[in-house]
Amino acid sequence: MIKGNLLYEGKAKTVFETDNPKELLIYFKDDATALNGEKHGIIEGKGVINNKLSEFFFKQLKDRGIKSHFVEKAGEREMIVKRLDMIKLEVVVRNIVAGSLVKRLGKEEGTPLTVPVVEYYYKSDELGDPMLNRYHIMALDLAKIDELNQMEHVAFSVNNILRELLKAKNVDLIDFKLEFGRFDGEVLLADEISPDNCRFWDTVTHEKLDKDRFRQDLGGVVEAYKEMLDRLTL
Ligand code: ADP
Ligand code: UDP
């Protein structure tokens, strides 16, 4: 595999072309942003951990029938993926109230939701990622109804699989964000699955083991990411 032209420099990852037109190389950086890009920092070693954790999760999901863009890990910070036509949505699944939901619902952080909730956000930095419903998505032609149904089905399946995997490691899955894209007529799971886009709490102490440590200036950020990697892979 040959690393080709830079295709896209994102906030947490850089995407390169490869010598295979159907594949891309994703490079995981240590950069972290929050508050719609207003807060920026470096979490030293984060890229290496997120690459490993994403590999772990995508492989576990594949074993349980969930297809993703993951092809192979190609270095400490590099992953080869299928080149997708990305759907401009962030698909969020929530089990427990946290983050933006605290204010929106007026519920205390940590309040369990009686059923998992799915939400869609328009992936648009200019608009600050507004929340959309299914009708907005269809009206904007961001995805077809069958694609939406597929994404929702996969999102809930991923929730069940990750909750089960994490429960065995004494971690609660509070919420997470997924992205999807099209490949040869199929909708595949894409991007990454890591403490950058999931909320993980220790089941007993409720200690935060995710990016909220950075967002809320709690300290011990990289230690928390490392703890997640160790619990899941050692
Ligand atoms: P952001 O765009 O929010 O700054 P990142 O820094 O994580 O996010 O950049 C990675 C970019 O790569 C994202 O825009 C994501 O949608 C895109 N991406 C992820 N997986 C794929 C894929 N398989 N094919 C094409 N683009 C992808
Ligand atoms: N999330 C994400 N990228 C975003 C916004 C949210 O990965 O641009 C994830 C976040 O890590 C959490 C879930 O989506 O696991 C729900 O986030 P929330 O809506 O509470 O947003 P926040 O207040 O964290 O910005």
pLDDT tens readout for residues 93-106:
999 999 999 999 99
Q: How confident is the model at residue 1 (pLDDT cuts 50, 70, 90)?
A: confident
Phi, psi angle pair for 100, to nearest 5°: -65, -20
Best substitution site from 93, 166, 175 to test ligand 2's pocket, by max atoms within 8 Å of Cβ? Answer: 175
Residue nearest atom 1 of ligand 1, based on CA coordinates: 10
CA 32 to chain centroid, in Å, comes to 14
Ligand 1 atom with least separation from CA of 84: 24
- What is the distance in A from the centroid of ligand 2 to the CA of 2? 34
Query: Using one digit for the tens of pLDDT, what is the confidence trace for 160-217?
Result: 999 999 999 999 999 999 999 999 999 999 999 999 999 999 999 999 999 999 999 9
Looking at the chain, the domain(s) classified CATH 3.30.200.20 span 3-82
Instruction: Please name which ligand lies nearest the alpha carbon of 32.
Output: 1
Phi, psi angle pair for 196, to nearest 5°: -70, -30
Mean pLDDT computed over every residue of the chain = 97
- What is the distance in A from the centroid of ligand 1 to the CA of 212? 21
**pTM > 0.95: yes or no:** yes
- Enumerate long-range contacts of 101-108, CB under 8 Å, 24 or more apart: 101/175
Name the residue with tokens 């930095």.
125
Give me the mean pLDDT over the 105-120 stretch. Answer: 98
Contact between residue 69 and residue 187 where contact means Cβ atoms under 8 Å apart: no
DSSP readout, 27-40? EE-SEEEETTTTEE
Q: Of the CATH numbers 3.40.50.2300, 3.30.1050.10, 3.40.50.300, 3.30.470.20, which one belongs to the domain with range 85-233?
A: 3.30.470.20
What is the predicted pLDDT for the residue at 118? 98
Classify the C-alpha dihedral 39-45-51-56 as positive or negative: negative
Per CATH, domain 3-82 is 1.10.1660.10: no
Looking at the chain, the domain(s) classified CATH 3.30.470.20 span 85-233
Ligand 2 atom with least separation from CA of 210: 11
